Structure 1
Amino acid sequence: MDFSLTPELKSLQLEVRAFVAEHIIPLEKDARQTAHGPSEDLREELVGLARRAGLLTPHASVELGGRGWTHMQKAIAFEEAGYSTLGPTAMNIHAPDEGNIHLLEVVATPAQKERWLKPMVQGKIRSCFAMTEPAPGAGADPSMMQTTAVKDGDHYVINGDKWFITGADGASFAIIMAKMEDGTATMFLSDMNVPGIEHVRTMDAMDACFTGGHGVLKFTNLRVPASDVLGEVGKGFRYAQVRLAPARLTHCMRWLGQARRAHDIALNYARNRQAFGVQLGAHEGVSFMLADNEIDLHTARLHIWHTAWMLDQGERCNFESSRAKVACSEAEWRVVDRSVQILGGQGVTGETIVSRIFTDMRAFRIYDGPSEVHRFSMGKKMIAGREGH
């Protein structure tokens, strides 16, 4: 069991670290950031920087113009990208596009890849993934889906409401999950600027890191050609697992970078700030928080690396990715929360980026399945004797 980074992985780590430090962090105070994420203009500038650095959409296959990164390569590089709130946007590895790119590579037809996947890999367009619905529809339980798709000749007619749809405002196309007449689910691809899709509003949210925010969408007799079904009819829930298991892990990777950034800022402050006649970090209460941060960061990283390694061995990792999602989302949140505490007034103002990381990260314990749902899923598998190793 070798935990050392290979020379290739170390080189990759330093490459992304330097790119983020030199080109992306200086743009974090850019006025083009909005309450609903970086503006499209800022996103395009960021993407251009990554393109020139050879770091645009690097997780995509070489055939599509990416670098074909393994899950372990992603684990190393995505953490470095996440060190800046703008890093994932620049490298086109942000949610939901990162997961959608992976899904389309696996499932889409050649024609669908040409039409939607290729320009997304090139950073020219964005996408959204429309699954979550208002009550009584699908939330953490996708089987409650209310959006319907009915066959009508060589088309499907889709009706329903979706919300918390990340990146909806300004997205060029959507992957839509809908329930069929037999109770199964199917994924459909549709351009967003067509009759039958209404972007009702953008929701107010704690986070401000996703271009396009989180939208409310309404589908009214949306006609989708049968040729735009993603994969096979009736296999939507199965394809959702193709997308969600790796996407849970990439969330953990990116947010680990954010947590490390918050910790580094707090650690630097503890070294240099004086309080009650001594260095702030010399106080036991502060030093204990710093130590606990290091413990949580290391624990999260080990969960990520182990699950990434398993994915690279061809394992499905539904159990392991749930385990990592719970452990990482909660550990990384604790790191940021402690960092705010150490920084005091600077932690709750815009004097450092930590307050921004704090509000952005809180939702991570909910995105891609709340901790409670993953624990419930793991428990059921354990009782049935189907847990991971």
Structure 2
Amino acid sequence: MRQQLTIKPIDKFSILKKLTIEEFAPRANEYDTTYTFPKENFQALFRTGLNAPTISAEFGGLGLGNNRANIRDLWTMTTEIAKADMATARCWEGHANALMLLDNLATYAQKEKWFTGIVQRGDIWTVWSGEPLLKIPGQTQKIGTTVIKTEEGYIINGSKVFCSSASGANWANLLVNLEGSGGARHADGSPESVIMLACDLSDPTISFDDSWWKPMGMRGSVSYKVNFNNTFIPFGNQIGKPGQFLLEEWQTRWIPQYAATFLGGAQAAYEYTLTHIEKQQRQQDPFIQHRIAKMAINIQSAHMWLDNAANLWDKNNIDAAQAIGNMVRYQVEQLASQTLEHAIHSCGARSLIQPSPLERISRDLTLYTRHDNDDQLLATIGKSVLGASHDRSFFKTK
């Protein structure tokens, strides 16, 4: 019987705020300009005991989750990190999501094995699914993986893209499809065909293609293309049951966290604008007053949307929480984008010239809000309201 750890309570919000102000924000520009993983930020999270947010307290984590009546705490932490650096927030999201899957779906033996590395050594995890099947202009090679089942495990070949934390993570939870390419998001096969495999990223059969990741924003998320060349993963590294990720709609638990990151970017833009206006002593400009008012309302509205979703999760009203989560994802994107526009109009062209943080925020928010198609998301919400069949995890049109 494993002896339960005695965890000393910590003031996670105060500690994190200190980190974001003193360390994360000053480093954001460097990660952006060099396209590098925010390694030092994760080391700081580990040093201060914040690197295991969604691991149960029994194993040394903070014990946050949708089923723990405290999910709003996780989203608040995500927003705070995103205020300093949205790319770091993206890597944090993937790490927290991976740990949440392990905490809820892994066996006890798997938890003891992997949680030790996270809590005691600062191991970093992520979740990778991206295998878009449709080609874009100029694309010559297909993207996707194939899976062969052997007597002892699985052999993975092919590639995934949008692999956040690629050069910084130690482990990845791979969402792969036994029926062909597509991962969890893009495949059309049976839900049971999608399995989750814990992959040790130090495996020499895995290679990272950083040439694929030359984006306008979110550069520090290092969301490379990752290639697998006969990568073997034993049965002992399979997480949960086949199809469990899709059948239990685990993606819906994470959707509001995208909004939490959008909100962090919007808050950073808002705070920069206030500083800019005060510096120029333009507080009495009526047009500035209008824009500041709209920004303040947008920020408050976004917080209220997240509060509402968290309250539903806390009450275990899962169906309503999942439906509202999509509304949160959609509406906070609109609020954050509007806030950014108000900031740019208020601060002018010089705010879009480096080293202004608004220049980076505008690039990061523009790219990250395209993680999902908000037209399809809005249609999904409409289908939900009308009682029509819909995919509330990935907003597929079929």
* Bucket of the pairwise TM-score, normalised by the shorter protein: 0.7 to 0.9
* In 2: Cα distance, 1:44 partner to 1:258 partner: 19
Match of 1:133 in 2: 131
In the alignment, is residue 383 of structure 1 matched against residue 386 of structure 2?
Answer: yes
In the alignment, is residue 81 of structure 1 matched against residue 84 of structure 2?
Answer: no
* In 1: Cα distance, 2:87 partner to 2:243 partner: 36
Equivalent residues of 2:52, 2:99 under 8 A apart = no
Give the aligned CA root-mean-square deviation in angstroms: 3.1
Deviates more, 1:260-269 or 1:54-63: 54-63
Match of 2:55 in 1: 60
SS at match of 1:83: helix
Match of 1:200 in 2: 209
For residue 261 of structure 1, report the CA deviation from its aligned partner.
2.0
* In 1: Cα distance, 2:121 partner to 2:328 partner: 29
Match of 2:295 in 1: 293
Deviates more, 1:371-380 or 1:200-209: 200-209
| 1:44-55 alignment runs, 5 A limit | 45-47=43-45, 51-52=47-48, 54-55=49-50
Equivalent residues of 2:147, 2:178 under 8 A apart = yes
Match of 2:6 in 1: none
Match of 2:67 in 1: none
For residue 385 of structure 1, report the CA deviation from its aligned partner.
6.2
Gaps of 5+ in 1: 1-10, 138-144, 274-278
* In 2: Cα distance, 1:297 partner to 1:130 partner: 30
Deviations 1:233-287 (A, max 9, x none): 2334236x32x223222232233233112112212222331xxxxx434333322
Equivalent residues of 1:129, 1:175 under 8 A apart = yes
* In 1: Cα distance, 2:115 partner to 2:376 partner: 31
TM-score, normalised on structure 1? 0.80
* In 2: Cα distance, 1:44 partner to 1:283 partner: 42
Match of 1:35 in 2: 34
The amino acid of 1:187's aligned partner reads: M
TM-score, normalised on structure 2? 0.78
| 1:152-191 alignment runs, 5 A limit | 152-181=150-179, 183=190, 184-191=193-200
Match of 2:356 in 1: 352
Give aligned-pair identity as a percent.
19
SS at match of 1:223: strand
* In 2: Cα distance, 1:131 partner to 1:15 partner: 32
Deviations 1:331-383 (A, max 9, x none): 1122123212211133112343121111111123222x331232222222222
In the alignment, is residue 319 of structure 1 matched against residue 323 of structure 2?
Answer: yes
* In 2: Cα distance, 1:128 partner to 1:267 partner: 35
* In 2: Cα distance, 1:234 partner to 1:56 partner: 28
Equivalent residues of 2:86, 2:261 under 8 A apart = no
Match of 2:307 in 1: 305
